[in-house]
Amino acid sequence: MSLLPSSSSAGFLRGLEINEAISQSFQSLKQLKHIHGALLRKNYDQDNYFISIVLRSALNFGDLCYARLVFHQSREPNVNLWNTMIRGLISNDRFSEAVDFFRLMRKEGILPNNFTLPFVLKACSRVTNAGVGVSAHCLGLKIGLDGDVFTNSALVCFYAKCGFLNDAQKVFGEASDKKNVVSWTAMITGHVEHGRFREAIHMFWGFLGAGLRPDSLTIIKVLSACIRLGDVRSGEWIYDYLTENNLRENVFVNTSLVDMFSKFGNMEKARDVFDMMPEKDLVSWSTMIQGYAFNGLPLEALDMFSRMRQDNLTPDCYVIVGVLNACARLGALEAGERASKMIDRDLFLENPIVGTALINLYMKCGCVIRAWEVFMEMRVKDKVVWNAVISGLAMSGHAMLAFSLFGQVEKIGLKPDGNMFMGLLCACTHAGLVNEGRRYFEGMVRIYSLLHTVEHYGCMVDLLSRAGCLDEAHRLIVGMPVEPNAVIWGALLNGCRLHRNIQLAETALKEMILLETWNSSNYVQLSNLYSVSQRWDDAASVRSKMNIEGIQKLRGCSWIEVDGVVHEFLVGDETHPSTKDIYSKLKELSKYLKEAGYVPTTEYVLFNIEEEEKEQSLSWHSEKLAVAFGLISTAPTAVIRVVKNLRVCGDCHEAMKLISKITGREIIIRDNNRFHSFTNGFCSCNDYW
DNA sequence: GTAGGGTTAG
């Protein structure tokens, strides 16, 4: 088969025909080599134009050895051939070889042209070979390439990417006639990537002031600066600007906007942007799911996930991490496990982020052993993985295991961080180990040079308060270098409730009211406290203050998962489709409870419920609605899993024990990360007050 | 044949 004309044809015609044969895109490397062979046979082996075509194709196929062979065949490679080789190496991610090739080119005495430096500078910025980049810059100045727009932009990009922002600014500022969207974006990106978010946003204003129109890259970068800085005002202004200027077509831009609004906690706006997107991809869905999960809207996250599935999209590990977080928050074990089966198990073992999400799910659902199994199987374990297990063990009451894991962390040479000490302090709290807690709290600063955060103080106050060291806890709060928050005072209050210290409880509640003026439960508790102390006037004034400020009491709410489906209940809820059955089951339960000798108690001091509501709340609390629903559900093997966001109060505890005994079903209630498992009249919770 | 090449996770 003759692919090429014979060399006896006229040169011009010959060139055209060969060009035609060689310009076709090659289907395979084999075909390319075949044509290359024909070229050699016809004595075109020194024609740099043909060589460059073969070279480019070889590089496109990624056969670098072959490309080098072809290149070195040329006895006098011209600058085009050198450029082709450097560019090809870059497109194959061989940046340092590209830099070496440039060096070789200089050694051979070849001068670069306007195409060369942009390639070389790109390679230098990728391997941060500042030396070669800077000498390329000097060479460019010497031979007058600094007037070229592309070379100039490439220089700005090079300096910005290497972190030499002042030099980037210098090259950028000196070339006012060569500034374009690429060099502006390079400056903005450089600032963002080196943590100078405020400057990045400032540059963006300058960019707009110069009358230029941003493209998707510019927008994404400046939005990421707004997100990192938490600059809601600039973010929203940019959002309006994009809307007014029809710049909301690009899926990356829209996804960044969704991400921005969810990071700012504005899920309504995030949803708005998401719903309006002309095109959605897996990342957009994943951003939305994570946004809901992160902002404490786990049911919405799961709803998004099921919509995504209806759209026939297959989840990736980002999506699954979001879903697992939502499930962990809900305690929705079955739903979480089902989602986890949608991606390759190896991802859990090799990707520490994905593995951590699964460990958290199991830990939050009280399945310590399964969490442990995942941990043991994981092949890549970083600090956060260890933290997840240590905190999980701590919250499940396995303090000693948590301590011994901490010992292993030190052995394998990982440096503990503040989060790890949170886990350890939490373990101490759950096991009531006051001395160990004091030691870790003090040691994290003395031995590991870490700083105490508000959270560490919170944990320590909790530990001391529960153990009855109320004065020490109070002193710790008063001596804090940062302002104590409501959680810290709440921990002290909790201790006061346990150890019946009404005086300190009053102090704590007053502080909490100052910090959380909107939170009804603080007022209710303070008023209850005054009532039991028979300080009726004080009680009345708290009530009237609450009324004057129009503070509404939050309704108790709980979720239950039965066979992987999550249901939500509010106190006195009547909106569930099975309401009638649920209430009739509740009536039946109440009858059984009465017969079993259960009398609701109303005299608990400092409960977070109004006095007159106590009896009703205790008998008709949303947990019981959920339990009743679990009992009437037809699922034959369903474990009733009630996940509450309120405290499991003492009275309800007794009721649950009886319900489990009467019905023979297992009931699991989660309360502030503690699990209460009721089976056959017993509770396996180790930390019940 | 040239410069920035992108949004999401614990």
Q: What's the 3-state SS for A451-500?
A: CCCHHHHHHHHHHHHHCCCHHHHHHHHHCCCCCCCHHHHHHHHHHHHHHC
Q: Establish if A561 belongs to a structural domain.
A: yes
The C1' atom of B4 and the CA atom of A51 lie apart, in whole Å, by 31
φ/ψ of residue A679, rounded to 5: -135, 130
Number of domains in chain A: 2
SS3 assignment, position A168: helix
Protein-to-nucleotide distance from the CA of A63 to the C1' of B2, whole angstroms: 23
What was the pLDDT predicted at A6?
A: 43
Q: Which residue has its C-alpha nearest to nucleotide B3's C1'?
A: A154
- Nearest-nucleotide field for A115 (CA, C1'): B2
- HEC profile of A299-321: HHHHHHHHHHHHCCCCCCHHHHH
Rounded-to-integer distance, Cα A4 and Cα A300, Å = 65
**Nucleotide with smallest C1' distance to residue A382 CA:** B10
CA-nearest of A510, A509, A526 to A605 is: A526
Helices A418-431 and A399-411 pack at an angle, to 10 degrees, of 150
Domain residue limits at A639: 557-683
* Two tokens, residue A219: 């927008």
Q: Maximum Cα–Cα distance for chain A, whole Å?
A: 118
Nucleotides of B under 7 A from a protein CB: 1-10
Residue A234 Cα distances to A133, A195, A224, A264, angstroms: 35, 17, 11, 12
Which pLDDT does position A543 carry in this prediction? 86
Q: Which nucleotide is nearest to A214 (CA to C1')?
A: B4
Residue A260 lies in a domain: no
Q: Please report, rounded to whole angstroms, the spatial distance between the CA atom of protein residue A248 and the C1' atom of nucleotide B7.
A: 13
pLDDT confidence of residue A8: 38
Nearest residue to nucleotide B9, by CA–C1' distance, is A318
Q: Which nucleotide does the CA of A263 lie closest to, via C1'? A: B8
* Spacing of A608 CA from B6 C1' in Å: 50
Give the integer Cα–Cα distance in Å for A310 and A358: 24
**Paired strand residues for A640:** A667
The predicted pLDDT at position A366 comes to 87
Q: What would the two tokens of residue A37 be?
A: 């062979």
The CA–C1' separation of A58 and B2, in angstroms, is 20
Q: Which of A20, A48, A74 is the last residue of a domain?
A: A74
Instruction: Say how far apart CA A556 and CA A546 lie, in whole Å.
Output: 19
If phi > 0 it is left, if psi is from -120 to 50 it is alpha, else beta; for residue A458 that is alpha
Interatomic CA–C1' length for residue A653 and nucleotide B5, angstroms: 58
d(CA A384, C1' B7) / Å? 24
In a domain, A206, yes or no: no
State the nucleotide closest to A321 in CA–C1' terms.
B9
Q: How many CB atoms lie within 10 A of CB A610?
A: 18
Burial category of A419 from C-beta neighbours within 10 Å (exposed 0-12, middle 13-18, buried 19 and up): middle
Q: How far apart are CA A203 and CA A188, in angstroms?
A: 6
Strand partners, A677: A668
C-alpha to C-alpha distance for A113 and A140, rounded to whole angstroms? 9
In a domain, A13, yes or no: yes
Contacts of A564 (CB under 8 A, 6+ apart): A332, A334, A335, A338
Residues A22, A604: Cα–Cα separation, whole Å? 90
A667-671 and A640-644 as β-strands: parallel, antiparallel, unpaired? parallel
φ, ψ dihedrals at A206, nearest 5°: -60, -40
A676 three-state secondary structure: strand
pLDDT of residue A17: 63
CA dist., res. A626 & res. A568, Å (int): 8
Contacts of A619 by beta carbon, 8 Å cutoff, 6+ apart: A590, A600
Q: Is residue A269 part of a domain?
A: no
Domain end among A74, A107, A131: A74
Distance of CA A99 to the CA centre of its chain: 37
Residue A132 sits at the vertex; the CA angle it makes with A131 and A135, to the nearest 5 degrees, is 90
Angle at A565 between CA A560 and CA A569, to 5 degrees: 35
A335 CA to B4 C1', in Å? 42
d(CA A357, CA A395): 16
Nucleotide nearest A216, CA–C1', reads B6
Residue A619 lies in a domain: yes
A105: Cα separation from own chain's centroid? 46
Sheet order of strands, A565-570 included: A565-570, A557-562, A640-644, A667-671, A674-679, A682-683
Domain's final residue, options A55, A74, A93 = A74
A557 pairs with which residues across the strands? A570
Residue A601 lies in a domain: yes
Are A652 and A625 in contact, with CB atoms under 8 Å apart? no
Residue A210 included in any domain = no
Q: How far is the CA of A219 from the C1' of B6 (A)?
A: 10
- Count the neighbouring beta carbons within 10 Å of the beta carbon of residue A15: 16
Q: Residue A646 burial by CB count (10 A; 0-12/13-18/19+): exposed, middle or buried?
A: buried
Closest alpha carbon to A543 in A594, A611, A460, A476: A611
- CA separation (Å) from A296 to A322, A333, A357, A442? 12, 17, 16, 33
List, in order, residues 6 or more apart from A99 with CB less than 8 Å away. Answer: A120, A123, A124, A127, A129, A132
Q: Nucleotide B7: nearest residue by CA–C1'? A: A252
Q: Which nucleotide shows the minimum CA-to-C1' distance to residue A385?
A: B10
Q: Closest nucleotide to A182's CA, by C1' atom? A: B4
Picking from A408, A409, A401, the residue whose alpha carbon sits closest to that of residue A371 is A401
Which residue places its CA closest to the C1' of nucleotide B5?
A: A217
H helices, E strands: number in chain A: 37, 6
Hey, what amino acid is at A71? F
- Considering all nucleic acid strands, name the nucleotide whose C1' atom is nearest to the C-alpha of residue A126: B4
A381 CA, B10 C1': Å apart = 12
The three-point CA angle A78-A79-A85 to 5° equals 100
Residue A334 vs residues A82, A319, A365, A375: alpha-carbon distances, Å: 60, 17, 10, 19
User: Which segments of A277-416 does DSSP mark as H helices, in order?
Assistant: 282-294, 298-310, 317-330, 333-340, 345-350, 352-364, 368-377, 383-395, 399-411
Å separating the CA of residue A229 from the C1' of nucleotide B1: 40
Instruction: Provide, in whole angstroms, the distance separating residue A161's CA from nucleotide B10's C1'.
Output: 28
- Asked if residues A293 and A301 have their Cβ atoms less than 8 Å apart, the reply is yes
Query: A394, A438, A385: which is closest to A412 by C-alpha?
Result: A385
In the prediction, which pLDDT does A542 show?
Answer: 87
Rounded to 5 degrees, what angle do the CA atoms A332, A336, A339 make?
Answer: 150
Q: Closest CA to B2 C1' — which residue? A: A115
| CA A261 to C1' B4, whole Å | 25
Residue A34 CB partners (closer than 8 Å, separation 6+): A3
Among protein residues, the one whose C-alpha sits closest to the C1' atom of B10 is A353
Which ranges of chain A have pLDDT less than 50? 1-13, 603-607, 611-612, 614-615, 617-619, 637, 646, 686-689
Of all nucleotides, the one whose C1′ comes closest to residue A180's CA is B3
- Measuring alpha carbon to C1', the residue closest to nucleotide B6 is A217
